[in-house]
Amino acid sequence: MPPIRDKFTIHSKAVVCQDVELKGDITIGAGTIVHPKATIFAIAGPIVIGSGCIIEEGAIIVNRRKEVMRIGDDNLFEIGCRVECPTIGNCNTVCTRARVHHTVRMSSYCVIGAGVLVVPTEDEMLDEYTVIYGPAGERRRWSGRGKVQEMDLRRKHGDYLRDMLPKFNRLRRGDGT
Amino acid sequence: MGRQATLMVGIARDGGGEQRRGAERAQSRVAWSARCASSRLNLDLDLDLDLDLDPGSFTPPWTSQSTIRGQSTLRRLDTGNKVSRRATISGPQNIILGGKTIISSGAIIRGDLRRTGPGHAVVISLGRYCLIGEGCVMRPPYKTYRGNFNYYPMKIGDHVHIGANSIVEAATIGNHVEIGKNCIIGKFTIIKDCAKIADNTVIPPNTVVPALALFAGSPGRFIEDLPESTPEMVEAQTKQYYTRFQPLPTER
Predicted pLDDT at B117: 75
**pLDDT of B234 higher than 80:** yes
CB contact under 8 Å between A168 and B38, yes or no, is yes
CB contact under 8 Å between A115 and B137, yes or no, is no
**pLDDT of B50 higher than 90:** no
In a domain, A133, yes or no: yes
Type of residue numbered B82: K
Strand order in the sheet with A138-141: A15-16, A33-34, A54-55, A76-77, A93-94, A111-112, A130-133, A138-141
Contact yes or no for A57/A77 (Cβ under 8 A): no
> Average of pLDDT values for B95-113?
90
Predicted pLDDT at B43: 30
**pLDDT of A157 higher than 70:** yes
In a domain, A146, yes or no: yes
Predicted pLDDT at B114: 85
In a domain, A128, yes or no: yes
**pLDDT of B183 higher than 60:** yes
What was the ipTM of the complex prediction? Answer: 0.88
State how beta strands B131-132 and B172-173 pair: unpaired
User: pLDDT-derived band of residue A1, with 50, 70 and 90 as boundaries?
Assistant: low
Q: CATH code at A89?
A: 2.160.10.10
φ, ψ for residue B123, nearest 5 deg: -95, -50
Q: Which of A168, A170, A171 to mutate to test the interface with B (most CBs of B within 10 A)?
A: A168
CATH superfamily label, B8-244: Hexapeptide repeat proteins (2.160.10.10)
Show residues of chain B in contact with A18, CB under 8 Å.
Answer: 37
**pLDDT of A170 higher than 80:** yes
Higher local confidence (pLDDT), A30 or B66: A30
Higher local confidence (pLDDT), B36 or A105: A105
- The parent domain of residue A93 ranges over 7-168
Predicted pLDDT at A176: 60
Continuous segment of H or E residues that includes residue B232: helix B230-244
Show residues of chain B in contact with A17, CB under 8 Å.
Answer: 38
Gap between the Cα atoms of B158 and B98, Å rounded: 8
Gap between the Cα atoms of A114 and B184, Å rounded: 8
Per-residue DSSP letters for A137-153? TEEEE---TTHHHHHHH
Show residues of chain A in contact with B219, CB under 8 Å.
Answer: 134
Gap between the Cα atoms of B184 and B251, Å rounded: 27
Ranking A105-119, A139-153, B50-64, B162-176 by mean pLDDT, the lowest is: B50-64
In a domain, A1, yes or no: no
Predicted pLDDT at B249: 75
pLDDT tens digits for B56-95? 333 344 444 333 332 222 223 347 888 888 888 888 888 8
In a domain, A177, yes or no: no
CB contact under 8 Å between B202 and A115, yes or no, is yes
Q: Is A57 on the interface with B (CB under 8 A)?
A: yes
Residue of B nearest to A159 (CA): B149
In a domain, A176, yes or no: no
**pLDDT of A27 higher than 70:** yes
For B:96-135, CB contacts with A below 8 A are: 108, 110-114, 116
In a domain, A26, yes or no: yes
Give chain A's domain count: 1
Strand order in the sheet with B8-9: B75-76, B66-68, B28-30, B8-9, B95-97, B124-126, B154-156, B172-173, B190-191, B208-209
Burial of B88 per CB tally in 10 Å (0-12, 13-18, 19+): buried
Q: Which among A80, A135, A170 has the least Cβ separation from residue B37?
A: A170
